[in-house]
Amino acid sequence: MKKEAKAVIDGSAHRGTASSFPKRHALLQNQARKIACHIGQIEARLMHAAAGMGTQKRERDVEREELDLNLTMKESDVPNGFKEYRRCVSLPEKEREGLTRGFSASVTEPLHVCVVGSGPAGFYTADRMLKGHEGAQVDIIDRLPTPFGLVRSGVAPDHPETKIVVNQFSRVAANGRCSFFGNVTLGRDVSLSELRETYHTVVLAYGAESDRSLGIPGEDLKGIHSAREFVWWYNGHPDMCDLSPDLKNTQSAVVLGQGNVALDVARILLCCKTELATTDIADYALDALCGSTIRKVYLVGRRGPVQAACTAKELREILGLKNVRVCIEEADLATSPADEEEMRSSRIQRRVYELLSKAASAHRDNNCNDQKELHFVFYRRPTRFIPSENGSTVGAVELEKTALKVDEVNGKQVAVGTGEFEDLKCGLVLKSIGYKSLPVQGLPFDKIRGVVPNLRGRVMSSESETATVETGLYVVGWLKRGPTGIVATNLHCAEETVASILEDDTKGVLRAPSDSKKHGRTGLVEILEQKNVRFVPFSGWEKIDSKEKMAGQLRNKRREKITTWDGLLKAANE
């Protein structure tokens, strides 16, 4: 059956073209799809049997617990430029040719797709493209020698269940129609224009690798880091292996923010270090944390407990830490009618508030002196960082008390300053106020929102009413919707973008007769070789993976990460 499918798909069963034999071509296309679909179903059953459905089901259940996503858009919100684009591609082929140079590609011709970024959004996109289009040839490029993005460098080391998804991503990379190119930086090693000239479709999935700034005095003092930098540091990201946060000269740390990342870094600072010893945490980070003198961590939020941005799962975990006393001011737990309305409309917010209230009651009479302390500080916003006596390191954070006011525009409660200030002493500050995506040359970018203007994944020239579609250019993940959601959120996001790609290809938008110069993978290799770029294939990553696991076995860890650029490139080429 595979031989029959190949004969249809590569054209050996029929040498005519779509324009010469439209009926026969359509029949062959339909036969090819049915055969490929049947083969895909058989392969999928075999893969499921080999992988074991138990762990995958558990992973999906965990990720689905807090999933709350709405990717729909009202017709009234659709830019006029896209409406015209959609009208053109919906026309009959003869009418469309003059407008869009429509071309119904033969099933023998591959659809060359390049995905920029190998995190969850990138791999889910590749997976859905390979499953949704039997002719798709997908190449994934990433600036790191290692794939998997935040699954490797962002997920906490004591959350191995979340990292199970890399098994699925590895199977995607093993597909004969998929290739990985690590150590390739967009904008330095290959430009966006070069990719668009080489591929029919380019999907940007490079996420958010920068941080939002508070823009307040003293932000450049030593001892102040972004949560992203701290997370990359303990996860062994090669860009942050030399961060060296000072954990020995203070007893107090302040985390600005109350989202899941904020809870992660607070938990890592407070948890029992023996529980981290067998994880894949970087060895230098484990040593530093074991020598830490930090006893108190303050989680500071602008609004109240009802508006805390964390999920119940993450909150339960940090509230359950051994030998850690949870401290919450009783007055901060008081709720307003607006708070009650928010909890009625959001199950997640209600559960978070209930967990915080229960924790406050349970720890109120616990005054054991040998315990570490976790303080939830609500209704405060930072206004400046105060230097310590030496003048170069942070010594305290000045906080302004806030109150909640209903925004007349969107009806949401926002924090406004009251003019009352207080200082919170500390020697370490971690800013968890949001990741930020960065633009590349030739890419439309909304600097205020930090995202690429798009409609269901199709990149638009701008946010204006007259915006036009950037044909063949798509976006997915944080670059598409902002730095929000969990791993599973990227699956739904990728499905939406891939649906747009498949729709456009079906309409003849992506491949035209003049596109014969688009060589995809071979074209990319030529570009990289001409520039002497030392790219790392997936087989190179497998060498890194094997070496890390072997080193981990010697220390009774899941893996011992290689944390330097030179070390990673050397391991990939051994």
Residues belonging to the binding site are 121, 150, 186, 258-261, 302-303, 314, 478, 485
- Cα 118 to Cα 139, 141, 450, 477, distances in angstroms: 10, 7, 20, 11
H helices, E strands: number in the chain: 20, 18
User: Encoding tokens for residue 272?
Assistant: 């029992």
Residue type, 154: G
Q: Is 328 helix (H, G, I), strand (E, B) or coil?
A: strand
H/E segment holding residue 479: helix 478-481
Q: How far is CA 243 from the centre of its chain?
A: 22
- By CB atoms closer than 10 A (0-12, 13-18, 19+), residue 530 is exposed
Within 10 angstroms of residue 509's Cβ, the number of other Cβ atoms is 24
Rg (CA), the chain: 26
Of 169, 162, 166, the closest CA to residue 62 belongs to 162
* DSSP SS3 for 421: strand
Q: Produce one character per residue of 415-434: b if its CB has 16 or more CB atoms within 10 Å, e if not.
A: beeeeeeeebbbbbbbbbbb
Report the first-to-last Cα separation within the chain, whole angstroms.
Answer: 40
Can you say whether the dihedral through the CA atoms of 554, 559, 563, 565 is positive or negative? positive
CA-to-CA dists, residue 166 to 152, 170, 172, 412, angstroms: 9, 6, 10, 38
Burial class of 214 by CB neighbour count within 10 A (0 to 12, 13 to 18, 19+):
middle
Annotated binding site for FAD: 121, 150, 186, 478
Helices (H), 327-403: 337-345, 347-363
C-alpha–C-alpha distance, residues 417 and 403, integer Å: 7
Token code pair at residue 530: 């001409």
Q: Which residues sit opposite 179 in a β-bridge?
A: 139
Let me know: does 402 contact 380? Beta carbons within 8 Å: yes
CB contact burial 47-57 (16+ within 10 A = b; e otherwise): eeeeeeeeeee
Neighbours of 513 (CB within 10 A): 8
In the numeric block, which tokens belong to residue 348?
A: 């997640």
Binding region for NADP(+): 258-261, 302-303, 314, 485
Helix, strand, or coil here: 485? coil
Distance between CA atoms of residues 264 and 259, nearest Å: 9
Sheet containing 413-425: give its strands across. Answer: 380-387, 394-406, 413-425
Query: How many other CB atoms are found less than 10 A from the CB of residue 491?
Result: 23
Q: What share of the chain is helix, strand, coil (3-state, %, to 5)?
A: 40, 20, 40
